[in-house]
Structures are given as structure tokens and as C-alpha cells.
Amino acid sequence: MNRDFPIVVIGCGGLGSAALHWLAQEAGGAVLGLEQFALGHDRGASQDHSRIIRHAQHQDAYADLAPAAYDAWHAVEEASGVQLLTRTGGLVIEDVAAREGVATGTRNIAGYVDVMRRHGVEHELLDADEITRRWPQFRLSGSERGIHQAESGIVDAAKANAVHVALARAAGATVLDGTPVLAVRPSGPHVEVVAAEETYVAERVVITADAWTNRLLAGLGRQLPLTVTQEQVTYYATPHLRQFAPDRFPVFMWHGADNFYGFPVHGEVATKLGQHNGGHPVTAETRTFTPDPVREERQLAFLAEHLPDFAGPRLYTKTCLYTVPPDQHFVLDTLPEHRGVTVAVGAGHAYKFASLIGQVLTDLALRGKSEHPLDDFRLDRPALTDPEYTATFHV
């Protein structure tokens, strides 16, 4: 029984690496990170060069966190000297005609505007003519409308994970990759973490295992109603690099018959496009790394109609996993029956908040509470406790 590490983080991807960093700033050598695969692996949710970061939110729970998320990333940049954020501005475009009669909840221009006004977020409302005047790369029919928010941009996920781990190690934390955790179970007032070669007895355990969450919770008598889907993005070797450079083309989200999100040239000499929630259910064991040709064709059809110069020869398509509760909200909470165990699930859209979530998990693990509003992310909410709860994934 190894008692050298009172604090153990299981899973060192986006949320886990952030938790390692912020825990290590307070607890140093008391912190151990365990990763079942190699650091930087591509089997989960937080690899790749780019994620969108934005103040433009259509739900208060996330608008409340957005300013602090930016602050957390800037603190990591300052501590490391590594640039992680690239400001591009961001567009949310809604094709109103294509969504007529479709229930969208607050995931529409009216929903974004309502939340941003309430939170004092500066933004511009644009009609189709103004969008194409400012960004002639788009081809619009006239039924579109949009919002531009100048502070939106890109956070480099793979680089940020590596920076979090490096800063954690510099503060004294131990990080072991290639170390699967076989079980997590209560042991009196402590928690046993059973790895392949050693069993650790910890006072605090933070589970940031995403698609493997329920496997780890099994020994604690808890399971969460999580859906795992296989998602994908495609990089296009556009020959029109200057048109799609980050200083000339924003990150964007498109809400129409299908929902897409895209990036200017970043990380690769290529643009990047994905479909939001377009994937089919899988498990961590049954997922494949084979792209879905239906979604690849769907994306090409969208680009041919609305962003023809964005496309080019397919550089590659990359798959990843979303792990999503029925209400599509995060899980950020401590198990009431095992106060030494804190759980985080990113719901497929957490990366923009990853470093802040590391701070939140540090507060929950070490102090049992956070200064940030977390009611929507509690373990005792109906989406996680009511078996009759109807999943409401926004698409």
C-alpha cells in the first residue's frame, strides 16, 4: 500500500492535466497523476490543435464561467511563457429558414443575445449582407443572421495539456503514464486506487476519466447515465491560406439543418471543420478510428454551398469521443457517499473551460466547495438521478 500521495488524479487529458497543475500549486509533491495511455494520446476527447474559446454562450451556467476561464488560461500562459490562446474573433451564424419549425431551445441567435446582454458581453448583430461584406469567404442565401464577438478564438488543446503537466511536475507532482487504474474503492476514511503495479491509499481522488468514468465509479457503487459518441473533424489543405489566416477569418459556429463549427488555418497548414453532435453512440472499447464517410460528405456539401474556398484536398480526418450526460451539462461535484472522491465529466464541450475546471476541482478536492456557481453541474440533479429523464442534447 503506497501512502506517498495523499492526492491522486486519474486521467491526465484536458481536465485531468489542469487539475494536476492547480492541485500541485498548493500541494506539490503530494499530488500523483495516473494516465492509462501515453500522455498526449488520441483515444479520448482533448487531443488536437484547436478548440474554440468564447464569451458567446446561450446558457447562463456557462456565461457565468467564461470570464474566469479566460483568466485561468492567461495565468497558465504567464506561468509557462507559452502562448495557448489565439484571438480570431468568433461568428455564430443561424440559417433561420433551414431551422424553421425545429426546436432549438436557447441555441439560436435570440438565445445567445439574451444571455450575452444579461452578462454584459459586447457583441454585434449582423445580417447576411453584413456577414458577407466583412467576410466574403462566406456564400449566404440571405436568410442567415449572425453574432460577432471579438474576444473569441482558439485554445491549443494538445499544447495546453502538455503545459499543464509540465507546470505540475515543476511544482513537485508525479505523473505516471502507461498506468491503467483497475479499481477505485473506499478504504475507511481513505480511497484505494488500484493500479497495475501498485495500490495507492489517498485522502483525495479526482476522477477525470471521461469515457472511462463509470468503469472507475463501479467500485464506489455509483454509475452515471452517460452517452459516449464518436465524433470527428476534418482538416482541409486549402490553397487559399491568406483568406483563412487567423487575422482574416474567425472561428465560427453554424446553426442550420446541421450544425457545424470551423477554424482558420491553425496547427496544420489547413482549415478545420467538424459537425456538432453528429456522431453515433459507442463505448471506449468499441469506438474506432475510422472516419464516417457520411459525415465527411455532409461537410463537403456544406462547404461547397457556403465556404467553397475553405475546402481543399483532405489532409486527414481525426476521431474523438464525447461523454455526455442526458442534459449535456458538465459533472463537477464530490460524491456525497464518498467525500474523498471528486468527479468531472466534460460533456463534449468543456475544453474552453479546462484550466478553470482544474481550479474548481482543486477547490472541491481540498476545500469541499468552490466560489464558482456549480448548481447545474451537481451529481444530485434530475438528469443524473431520475431514470425517466429525457435526454435533451442540443444539436
DSSP string, 197-260: S-EEEESEEEE--GGGHHHHHGGGT-----EEEEEEEEEE--S-TGGGSTTTS-EEEEESSSEE
Kind of pairing, strands 31-34 and 174-176?
parallel
Judgement on whether residues 148 and 163 belong to the same structural domain of the protein: no
**65 domain residue, yes or no:** no
The verdict on 241 and 319 lying in the same domain is yes
Asked whether 108 and 100 are in contact (CB, 8 A), the reply is no
Classify residue 39: in a domain, yes or no: yes
Cα gap 8→121, rounded to integer Å: 37
235 and 319: one domain? yes
- 161 and 310 in a single domain? The answer is no
Domain carrying residue 255: 88-152+227-324
Q: Is residue 1 part of a domain?
A: no
Residues 136, 20 share a domain: no
**Alpha carbon distance 167, 141 (integer Å):** 48
Q: What is the pLDDT of residue 129?
A: 98
Give the angle 75-81-82 at the CA atoms, nearest 5°.
90
Interaxial angle between packed helices 157-170 and 66-80, expressed in degrees from 0 to 180 and rounded to the nearest 10: 60
Q: Are residues 113 and 219 in the same domain?
A: no
For residue 69, being part of any structural domain is answered with no
The verdict on 244 and 297 lying in the same domain is yes
Assess whether 219 and 241 both reside in one domain.
no
Question: Is pTM beyond 0.85 here?
Answer: yes
Looking at the chain, how many residues does it have?
Answer: 395
Per-residue pLDDT tens listing for the chain (395 residues): 999 999 999 999 999 999 999 999 999 999 999 999 999 999 999 989 999 999 999 999 999 999 999 999 999 999 999 999 999 999 999 999 988 877 788 889 999 999 999 999 999 999 999 999 999 999 999 999 999 999 999 999 999 999 999 999 999 999 999 999 999 999 999 999 999 899 999 999 999 999 999 999 999 999 999 999 999 999 999 999 999 999 999 999 999 999 999 999 999 999 999 998 889 999 999 999 999 999 999 999 999 999 999 999 999 999 999 999 999 999 999 999 999 999 999 999 999 999 999 999 999 999 999 999 999 999 999 999 999 999 877 64
Q: What pLDDT was estimated at residue 395?
A: 46
Q: Residue 238: inside a domain, yes or no? A: yes
**237 within a domain of the structure (yes/no):** yes
114 and 242 share one domain: yes
SS3 state of residue 320 = strand
287/280 Cα distance (integer angstroms): 10
Task: At 209, give phi and psi (nearest 5°).
Answer: -110, 0
Q: Are residues 117 and 240 in the same domain?
A: yes
Residue 391 pLDDT: 87
- Model pLDDT, residue 394: 63
- The answer to the question of residue 74 being in a domain is no
Four-point Cα dihedral 45, 149, 22, 42, nearest 10: 20
> Rounded distance, CA 303 to CA 136, Å?
14
